Amino acid sequence: MTRNVDAIVIGGGIHGCSTTLHLCLAGLKPVLIEKDYAGRHASGVNAGGVRQLARHIPEIPLSIRSMGIWEKISDLLDDDCSFESYGQVLVAENEEELAVCRARVAELNALGFTHEELIDAAELQRLVPAVADTCPGGVVSRRDGAANPAQTTTAFRRKAQQLGATVREGVAATNIRYINGLWYVDVGSETFAAPVLVNAAGAWAGKIAAALGEPVPVETVAPMLMITSRVPHFIDPVVILRGRKLSFKQFKNGTVLIGGGHLATPYQDRNETVLDWESLATSARTVFELFPVMRSATIVRAWAGIEAKMKDDIPVFGPSSRHRGLYHQFGFSLHGFQLGPGAGAVMAELIVNGGSQTRVSELGIDRFHPSTL
Amino acid sequence: MTVAPKREDYDVVVIGAGPAGLAAAATSAEAGLSTLLLDENIGPGGQVFRAIATTPVTDRSQLGADYWVGADLVQALRASNAEIIHRATVWSLDRNLDIAVSIGGASAFVRAKRVILATGALERPFPIPGWTLPGVMTAGAAQTMLKSSALVPDGRTVIAGQGPLLWLLAAQILRLGGRIDRILDTTERGNYFAALPHAFAFLTSPYFAKGLSMMREVKAKVQVVSGVTELSAAGDGQLASVSYVAGGKRETIPADLLLLHQGVVPNVNLAMSAGIEHRWDDLQLCWSPVLDANGSSSVAGIAIAGDGAGIGGANAAVVRGRIAARAAVEALAPAVAAKLPSMATLRTDLAKAERGRMFLDTLFRPAPQFRIPTGDTIVCRCEEVTAKDVLDSVAIGATGPNQLKAYRRTGMGPCQGRLCGLTVTELMAQARAKTPQEIGYYRLRAPVKPITLAELAAVPKSEADVKAVVRG
């Protein structure tokens, strides 16, 4: 039996969940389809960075929009998502790196963006006393912070459900087709039909886009993270490095999350990843050098989440260039978590109003269309 | 002395030097395969033959004849060409058969054509009120001290629980002059009837005569209370008393030491972290790997032998070790395999060793109230999460152990769920009216045992590029 709804969202990551919630807020009745469970992959197991810092320029408006939502996340979700805002700091380890930072901040200022702020060695030491004192400065984005990714994604799913969204977890969306102005999707023995289809299927979204005639240069990646045992509190902001792959965050309970984008081997069809310990050892060495206090900490667990990475490292976001009623929201390329709340809000505006005040025009799928190449 | 593996590649790497691992490594090495045996303990034997080569206990009758069987296995292994490394903690195994091992504070990587996991069993969690108090410990921990150091309790000691190992430990403590004030037997009365259909196999198995005489020996010296239906430990920062209900009557007795034991379950952490499929065993009430008749798992090249393959006891473990090793020999050196005992012979041995197991599993199936706690009883010791906390999380949408992590961090501490995993699965299954199979288990990840950041940092550098990519 076919059930008619207002929109079908495929993918229960933070993006699919956020879009579903914002469609509910706009008065629509959407269905969310997730083949595993909400937050099973990258959205639930990423570093939880809520970061405007060091973003690609085309996605900065979306990031700023999102930041406003993060700061009131409890009002939206009735859940604090363990969001905390101690800033994010990009560390320059030498003068050359600091020069790059200086140029970057000047470029952003010229475009009217002021969230990134150049800092000297003294301010860096004040913000991150544990960092090696040879570092000459860096960039801070003071409103940034971190949240618990699984808690956040779950909270979006739960709130959407409370507001009337239908959620199907544990069953894949199959047999996607467009007939007489409606999108049809099979979910196990059920069929849903709606005028709107949102492709927010993360690492699985590229296949859906390709099947619908919009192939894009996307690959599946699995960035690795590891977490330590509890160590005495020594750092508040999230720290990332300019020149080396490292992100670093201490939680309230004392555990320290070490990431930075070293990749595991994804086995997408099995929902599995195989970790690359030699790369993780590189991360460990970087931490060992920069934060002597961490040397005796133990590594308790390492993991990787499966996600989509675009060739140009910025997401595919907005209406399809081929099909009416189809919208893409995927390919966040290792930095989609912070964008989730804002992207859901903007996507709902695109669907309901046909446009948004937030500029996302450079993120469209048409940038890959043969006619535009 | 720290010994790193001599090579980077082996035909067979066996992990764990208990009965299964000893037998597997000896079989594989005798057949001429390059064989590495990695074991976490200071000497061979695993738990059942712990300290077999070094124990200060010299009177053979005190630990029992079964214990000394281990000496023959060790001798056979040492006569072979197997490379043996103790104090070697394997902290990662993946589906490419890449193994990371920590030896004396330094990590090494080796690769195998075949891996035989013989990581044995763990004691089942026994989450009663007060089980985290100092003064409450597992019977297995007490047995470790007894075997390796001849240490036995001398304060007021209560042993509570059920199962063959409980009686074995009690007998061993008494023989070594230790003190036991009372044994609280939690075996459910109904289990005796349920086990009856399997009694014939048990009566004709070697377990029967040995078990009976051991229970008689213990009961002659210690007051045993059977049919215990409730149990709790209390004290202010230290165990002071044990309360129990038997036959509808509550009693509280003072105690300095409470030893808890309600059977053992497969130690699945390394196998699960390698991606091996496991299923819920409704009789043994635990996760067991899905294996074929040779012990081969769902990951090509990895076999599991011994109690890690499903609880079968030491005799079965030895045979399972030989079967898994023979399968490896068949695959890697078929010509040599013909000289080994045939699979048919080994399977007959296994059937004999497993005789009586159904009876034991049915009789000693722990009662629900000792597996599924309520209220303020701690479930996850690492993060101090109670049964009520878990149920509250279920009420607001946590559907399984992995989702629960987002609410309560259960299983995310250093023990990686060893002390709470089964409890969480069964508690959530009960709360959601699902089967444990449907609820599932934690996704386990390496390092299966923690390693220091300094140790990881000291791993030889790779060729990987260091292009800066920051992530959100």
pLDDT digits (tens, 9 = 90+) for A298-344: 999 999 999 999 999 999 999 999 999 999 999 999 999 999 999 99
Contact at CB, B468 and A337, closer than 8 angstroms: no
Residue B450 is nearest to which of A259, A280, A299, comparing CB atoms? A299
Helix intervals (H) in B227-367: 269-273, 313-332, 334-337, 343-353, 357-363
Q: Of the candidates B359, B365, B426, B427, which has an alpha carbon nearest to the alpha carbon of residue B189?
A: B365
Chain B CB within 8 Å of residue A18 CB: no
Q: What percent of chain A has pLDDT over 70?
A: 99
Residue A334 is nearest to which of B445, B468, B469, comparing CB atoms? B469
- Which residues of chain A are within 8 Å of residue B459 when distances are taken between CB atoms? 277-278, 281, 284
pLDDT average, residue stretch B426-432: 97
Number of Cβ atoms within 10 Å of the Cβ of A364: 17
Residue in B with minimal Cα distance to A169: B399
Measure in Å the smallest separation between the Cα of B459 and chain A Cα atoms. 6
Residue B457 is nearest to which of A44, A227, A281, comparing CB atoms? A281
pLDDT at residue A347 tops 90: yes
Chain B CB within 8 Å of residue A303 CB: yes
Q: Which residues of A266-275 are buried (b: 16+ CB within 10 A; e: fewer)?
A: beeeeebbbb
pLDDT at residue B371 tops 50: yes
3-state SS, A351-372, equals: HHHCCCCCCCHHHCHHHHCHHH
- Which residues of chain A are within 8 Å of residue B469 when distances are taken between CB atoms? 245, 260-261, 334
Q: Which residues of B323-355 are buried (b: 16+ CB within 10 A; e: fewer)?
A: bbbbbbbbbbeeeebeebeebeebeebbeebbb
Question: Residue B459: what pLDDT?
Answer: 86
3 state DSSP class of B362: helix
Number of Cβ atoms within 10 Å of the Cβ of A342: 24
Q: How confident is the model at residue A371 (pLDDT cuts 50, 70, 90)?
A: low
Question: Residue B146: what pLDDT?
Answer: 85
Contact at CB, B450 and A229, closer than 8 angstroms: yes
Q: What is the C-alpha separation between B296 and A45, in angstroms, rounded? A: 31
Q: How far apart are the first and last CA of chain A?
A: 43
Contact at CB, A303 and B445, closer than 8 angstroms: yes
pLDDT average, residue stretch B262-278: 96
Quote the crossing angle between the two packed helices B387-395 and B401-408, to the nearest 10°.
100
Residue B406 is nearest to which of A150, A281, A288, comparing CB atoms? A150
- Which residues of chain B are within 8 Å of residue A49 when distances are taken between CB atoms? 471-472
Question: In terms of DSSP bridges, do strands A145-146 and A166-169 run parallel, antiparallel, or are they unpaired?
Answer: unpaired
pLDDT digits (tens, 9 = 90+) for A241-262: 988 989 999 999 899 999 988 9
Q: What is the C-alpha separation between B215 and B230, in angstroms, rounded? A: 22
Helix (H) or strand (E) holding B84: strand B83-85
pLDDT digits (tens, 9 = 90+) for B136-195: 999 989 988 888 888 888 899 999 999 988 999 999 999 999 999 999 999 999 999 899
pLDDT at residue A126 tops 90: yes
Chain B 425-454, CB below 8 Å of chain A: which residues? 445-447, 450-454
Question: Residue B206: what pLDDT?
Answer: 74
Q: What are phi and psi of A295, to 5 degrees?
A: -60, -35
| Tokens standing for residue B390 | 């878990």
pLDDT at residue B465 tops 70: no
Chain A CB within 8 Å of residue B249 CB: no
Contact at CB, A51 and B472, closer than 8 angstroms: yes
Among A275, A276, A291, A307, most B C-beta atoms within 10 A, so best to mutate, is A275
3 state DSSP class of B296: strand
- Which residues of chain B are within 8 Å of residue A303 when distances are taken between CB atoms? 445
Distance of CA B374 to the CA centre of its chain: 25
Q: What is the C-alpha separation between A345 and A343, in angstroms, rounded? A: 5
Chain A CB within 8 Å of residue B106 CB: no
Residue in B with minimal Cα distance to A145: B472
- Which residues of chain A are within 8 Å of residue B405 when distances are taken between CB atoms? 150
Question: Residue A242: what pLDDT?
Answer: 87
Q: Number of A to B CB contacts under 8 A, please give it.
A: 154
Measure in Å the smallest separation between the Cα of A244 and chain B Cα atoms. 5
Chain A 47-76, CB below 8 Å of chain B: which residues? 47, 49-51, 54
Q: Of the candidates A144, A155, A139, which has an alpha carbon nearest to the alpha carbon of residue A68?
A: A144
- Which residues of chain B are within 8 Å of residue A288 when distances are taken between CB atoms? 453-454, 457
Helix intervals (H) in A163-252: 205-211
Residue ranges with strand state E in A16-146: 30-34, 49-50, 88-92, 117-120, 137-141, 145-146
- Which residues of chain A are within 8 Å of residue B409 when distances are taken between CB atoms? 253
pLDDT digits (tens, 9 = 90+) for B64-75: 777 888 888 999
Structure-token match 């792959």, residue found: A245
Chain B CB within 8 Å of residue A311 CB: no
Distance of CA B103 to the CA centre of its chain: 22
pLDDT digits (tens, 9 = 90+) for B110-143: 999 999 999 999 999 999 999 999 999 999 899 8
Contact at CB, B445 and A301, closer than 8 angstroms: yes
Question: Residue B136: what pLDDT?
Answer: 96
pLDDT at residue B1 tops 90: no
Helix intervals (H) in B152-310: 164-175, 189-195, 199-203, 206-219, 269-273
| Tokens standing for residue B357 | 């197991």
Encoded amino acid at A30, one letter: P
Measure in Å the smallest separation between the Cα of A324 and chain B Cα atoms. 32
Q: How confident is the model at residue B468 (pLDDT cuts 50, 70, 90)?
A: very low
Q: Of the candidates A373, A363, A354, which has an alpha carbon nearest to the alpha carbon of residue A329?
A: A363
Residue B406 is nearest to which of A44, A260, A262, comparing CB atoms? A44
Helix intervals (H) in B122-279: 139-149, 164-175, 189-195, 199-203, 206-219, 269-273
* ipTM for this prediction: 0.90
Residue in A with minimal Cα distance to B97: A274
Contact at CB, A299 and B471, closer than 8 angstroms: no
Residue in B with minimal Cα distance to A49: B472
Residue in A with minimal Cα distance to B397: A158
Could you check whether the bond before residue B447 is cis, i.e. omega within 30 degrees of 0? yes
pLDDT average, residue stretch B431-455: 95
Question: In terms of DSSP bridges, do strands B136-138 and B157-162 run parallel, antiparallel, or are they unpaired?
Answer: unpaired
Quote the crossing angle between the two packed helices B401-408 and B421-432, to the nearest 10°.
100
pLDDT at residue A263 tops 90: yes
Residue A49 is nearest to which of B92, B450, B471, comparing CB atoms? B471
Question: Residue A293: what pLDDT?
Answer: 87
What average pLDDT is seen over chain B? 92
- Lateral strand order in the sheet of A326-330: A166-169, A30-34, A7-10, A196-199, A326-330, A316-319
pLDDT digits (tens, 9 = 90+) for B65-112: 778 888 889 999 999 999 999 999 999 999 999 999 999 999 999 999
- Which residues of chain B are within 8 Å of residue A261 when distances are taken between CB atoms? 469-471
pLDDT digits (tens, 9 = 90+) for A73-119: 999 999 999 999 999 999 999 999 999 999 999 999 999 999 999 99
- Which residues of chain B are within 8 Å of residue A238 when distances are taken between CB atoms? none
Chain B CB within 8 Å of residue A164 CB: no
- Which residues of chain A are within 8 Å of residue B416 when distances are taken between CB atoms? 300-301
Least confident stretch, A248-257, A350-359, B50-59, B260-269: B50-59
